[in-house]
Structure 1
Amino acid sequence: MKCYCGNIKSYNTCCEIFHLNNGQTETAQQLMRSRYSAFVLANGNYLMQTHHKSTRPIKEKKAIVKWAKSVEWIKLELLETLNGLEKDKEGTVTFNAYFYENGNIDVIHEKSAFIKENDKWYYLGYAKNK
């Protein structure tokens, strides 16, 4: 079975590695994919620890986990990745995340901003257009 993030690798050779190593990814896209898999698995700890401290919604962890468990995740579709490679300090990933909620298909469309600090990528939030 392929990974939840849509990669052809299995979960245990893809996103599980990052879930077990506290989000130590090489690229922003790997972090984005692993965060999607964490939503599928309702892994609130991983979502919080990979969310940059300046924008991390600490008090909302339970609500995020509850919501992630309440929907059925369908697929992740990557649309665009700008920067976010090993030698970069920032990057963006634009994606669609499809899910069923209350009998309807819905989609999260987001251009996510990522920042690299101390050799570790973090999710910042919605990318602001420059």
Structure 2
Amino acid sequence: MNNKLCNCGSSKLFSLCCEPLLCDIKLPSTAEQLMRSRFTAFCIHHHQYLVDTQYPGKRTTNKFDKLQQNSEPTIWVKLTILQTHQGQAEDNTGSVNFSALFNENNQFYKLNEHSTFIKENQQWYYLDGQPTVEETTLKLKRNEPCWCGSAIKYKSCHLK
């Protein structure tokens, strides 16, 4: 069993949170759960899950290749769910407002997005989003855990 915490920020073990979704063992029951699992998929470069959970009418033929090319230099750091509207198990539509912190080429960025989701045949899909990205700074003290999730103190990891 994997004892690692899930990247989605739920404070649950990966094996009990997003892993069953990413391995097609179960389907997300809410729009927020799909949002969290998609963030985790970005973190671990599970591009096929990102393609599969995008609404079929919005998929492009080269989406997988684009995701693979664009994701390599990106380290996703933290997901914060700001608000959800509908998107519960009994709903067919929903939206999630979130922010995500990421690092690309030693620069931090904050992605803010209002994402919309649709459920068809009991499966939630990402429909589209309204993203904005801005540069940001991350202020960590030397003895705090590093932002990369290594469990090493910042001073001994990325502060070097």
TM-score, normalised via structure 2 length? 0.75
Instruction: Please report how far the alpha carbon of residue 33 of structure 1 lies from its aligned counterpart in structure 2 after TM superposition.
Output: 0.2
- Please tell me whether residue 75 in structure 1 is matched to residue 78 in structure 2: yes
- In the alignment, which residue of structure 2 is the partner of 1:42? 45
Choose the corresponding residue for 2:89, options 86, 91, 99.
Answer: 86
> SS at the partner of 2:62?
helix
User: Structure with the greater relative contact order (CA < 8 A, sep ≥ 6): 1 or 2?
Assistant: 1
How many aligned positions are there?
A: 127
**CA 1:22/1:49 → structure 2, altered by over 3 Å: closer, same or farther?**
farther
- In the alignment, which residue of structure 2 is the partner of 1:25? 28
| Displacement over 4 Å in runs of 4+ | none
Return the alpha-carbon distance in structure 2 between the equivalents of residues 68 and 22 of structure 1.
25
AA in 1 matched with 2:41 = A
> SS at the partner of 1:91?
strand
Contact kept, 8 Å, 1:23 with 1:50, in 2: the verdict is no
Larger Rg: 2
| Partner deviation per Cα, 1:5-35 (whole Å, 9 max, x = no partner) | 0011111110001011276111000000000
Return the alpha-carbon distance in structure 1 between the equivalents of residues 60 and 11 of structure 2.
32
CA RMSD of aligned residues (A): 1.4
Contact kept, 8 Å, 2:39 with 2:79, in 1: the verdict is yes
Q: Structure 2: which 5+ runs fail to align? A: 131-160
> SS at the partner of 1:58?
coil
Return the alpha-carbon distance in structure 2 between the equivalents of residues 74 and 107 of structure 1.
10
Structure with the larger helix share: 1
Alignment of 1:52-71 (within 5 A): 52-71=55-74
